[in-house]
């Protein structure tokens, strides 16, 4: 992972982020390619990315002026209009996280995240995660993510490499997902 810069996204990065995102959408991948991870939901356009970045953060990993990875984060309030996220938030009172209901935490949404295929396994995911945590650490004490249950590479990356805790499986509109949680700052491995 030489010469990788982790930083907040700029408007000039949005076309590259969108291209990377769309290249990794589940609808654009073969069954074999999906085993290497995929994204489930598309972005509308540059304005959508700008709104996400303004709300909380879009972080990029850049190498030689090329975006090779990104991670987005939004506030719970921003996400109230998205049916899937609204449903997940309705489960918070019943999800225990370090001995308390998830609803007791001031949390944010982590994701989507994507690393270009050639860069996967090189530490970029961890670098993006640390850069994001540096942006949000003073405002939140927990982060929440979700992964569709057949995206095993993403699930392993987030639980094994980033130490996120699998909190619950649930069904929404005929698909099954896992809710993941993590403390901010992250707790040391036990």
Asked if residue 144 lies in contact with residue 107, where contact means CB atoms within 8 angstroms, the answer is yes
Mean of the per-residue pLDDT values for the chain? 90
Residue 187 confidence (pLDDT) above 70: no
Residue 50 confidence (pLDDT) above 60: yes
Distance from C-alpha of 148 to C-alpha of 45, rounded to nearest angstrom: 23
- Among 4-8, 91-95, 185-189, the least confident range: 185-189
pLDDT tens track for 96-115: 999 999 999 999 999 999 99
22 φψ region: left (φ > 0), alpha (ψ -120 to 50), beta (else): alpha
What pLDDT was estimated at residue 164?
Answer: 96
Superfamily of domain 4-183: Gcn5-related N-acetyltransferase (GNAT) (3.40.630.30)
Choose among 180, 73, 53, 87: nearest CA to 137. 73
Q: Quick one: pLDDT band at residue 33, thresholds 50, 70, 90? A: confident
**Reduced to 3 states, what is the DSSP secondary structure of residue 113?**
strand
pTM of this structure:
0.91
Radius of gyration of the chain (CA): 16
């Amino acid at each position: 992972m030489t010469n990788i810069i982790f930083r907040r996204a700029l408007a000039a990065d949005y076309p590259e982020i969108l291209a990377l995102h769309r290249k990794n959408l589940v609808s654009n991948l073969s069954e074999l390619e999906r085993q290497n991870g995929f994204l489930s939901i598309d972005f509308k356009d540059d304005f959508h990315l700008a709104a996400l970045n303004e709300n909380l953060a879009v972080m990029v990993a850049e190498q030689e002026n090329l975006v090779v990875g990104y991670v987005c984060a939004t506030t719970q309030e921003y996400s109230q209009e998205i049916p899937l996220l609204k449903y997940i938030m309705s489960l918070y009172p019943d999800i225990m996280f370090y001995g308390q209901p998830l609803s007791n935490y001031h949390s944010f949404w982590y994701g989507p995240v994507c690393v270009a295929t050639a860069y996967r396994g090189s530490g970029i995911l961890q670098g993006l995660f640390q850069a994001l945590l540096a942006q949000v650490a003073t405002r939140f004490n927990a982060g929440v993510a979700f992964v569709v249950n057949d995206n095993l590479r993403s699930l392993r990356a987030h639980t094994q490499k980033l130490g996120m805790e699998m909190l619950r499986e649930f069904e929404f509109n005929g698909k099954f997902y896992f809710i993941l949680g993590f403390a901010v700052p992250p707790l040391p491995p036990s």
